[in-house]
C-alpha cells in the first residue's frame, strides 16, 4: 500500500494492491518519471527495496528465465539488458494477469522471488 502511495506522490498513477484496478505504469511514454519514482519508492517494496544485481551473470540469467516465463503467461516483459537494466512491462496491464504470471514464474527468481 505504501509503495503505491509513494509512487502516486511522485507522479505515477498506480492503484492500491488488491483494488482490482488495472495497473498502468509509464503510459504515455514517461519512463523517466517512472524510473525516478521507483528509485524513490523502492524501500517500500516487499523485498525491502534491495534491487537485484543484474550485472552478475547468474542473477541476470535467472531474470532472463523469469521474463521468458512471464511472456509465456501472457505478460509482455522484456529480458534484462546486458548492462543490467530491468524494464518493467508497459502499456495497459491487467494487474490480475500480471499477478498470476508472477506467481507462476517466481520460482525462476533468486530466493523464489520473495
**High-pLDDT (> 90) share of the chain, %:** 6
Average pLDDT over residues 31-40: 80
- Indicate yes or no: pTM above 0.85: no
**By three-state DSSP, how is residue 26 classified?**
coil
Other Cβ atoms less than 10 A from the Cβ of 106: the count is 15
Residue of 107, 98, 110 lying closest to 73 (CA atoms): 98
Distances in Å between the alpha carbon of 94 and those of 2, 60, 84, 99, 110?
21, 26, 26, 9, 25
Tens of pLDDT, residue by residue over 57-89, are 888 898 899 899 989 999 888 888 877 777 766
Give the number of other Cβ atoms within 10 Å of residue 91's Cβ: 9
Give yes or no for residue 22 having a pLDDT over 60: no
pLDDT band for 27, please (50, 70, 90 cuts): very low
Q: Binning pLDDT at 50, 70 and 90, where does residue 15 land?
A: confident
Amino acid at each position: 500500500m505504501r509503495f503505491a502511495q509513494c509512487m502516486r506522490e511522485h507522479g505515477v498513477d498506480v492503484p492500491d494492491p488488491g483494488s482490482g484496478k488495472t495497473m498502468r505504469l509509464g503510459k504515455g511514454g514517461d519512463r523517466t518519471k517512472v524510473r525516478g519514482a521507483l528509485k524513490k519508492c523502492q524501500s517500500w517494496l516487499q523485498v525491502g527495496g534491495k534491487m537485484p544485481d543484474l550485472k552478475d551473470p547468474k542473477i541476470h540469467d535467472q531474470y532472463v528465465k523469469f521474463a521468458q516465463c512471464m511472456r509465456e503467461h501472457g505478460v509482455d516483459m522484456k529480458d534484462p539488458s546486458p548492462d543490467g537494466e530491468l524494464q518493467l512491462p508497459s502499456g495497459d496491464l491487467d494487474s490480475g494477469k500480471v499477478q498470476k504470471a508472477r506467481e507462476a514464474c517466481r520460482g525462476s527468481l533468486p530466493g523464489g522471488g520473495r
